[in-house]
Amino acid sequence: MGFDLKKHPKVILDAYNDQAGITSMFNLNLLNRINRELDADFYLDQFEHYQTYDPGNGASKSYLVSLQEQTVTIGHNQLAFARDETIFMEISQKYTLAQIEELARASGFAPVYCVSDS
């Protein structure tokens, strides 16, 4: 089973705000899929990726921020977005080794060993 470990908050934020824009493209792709699969008209250039990380609880949250007031049509429904309104996209939870062990034991598993990358 794989877990992402808690680490310095800057390391985590830098990973999600990467220079290549991978996380941004990942989240904007969801709007692209909604356009294609649900007959919507999101304009991807009218949204911007925004990332947060709470080192206390380990929650790394991704949002898309509307860059302007706009109305999006999905099928026969319309959604109004205010400027700076966010769409909550995902949580990528981070854990300590002790939390991972606790989760495993609470689920009936017995941790045997841990392998981690550099």
pLDDT tens-place values along the chain, 118 residues long:
889 999 999 999 999 999 999 999 999 999 999 999 999 999 999 999 999 999 999 999 999 999 999 999 999 999 999 999 999 999 999 999 999 999 999 999 988 888 888 7
Strands (E), the chain: 4-5, 47-54, 59-66, 70-74, 77-81, 86-95
Handedness of CA 34, 40, 44, 48 (dihedral sign): negative
At residue 42's C-alpha, the angle toward residues 22 and 24, to 5°, is: 10
Q: Which pLDDT belongs to residue 113?
A: 87
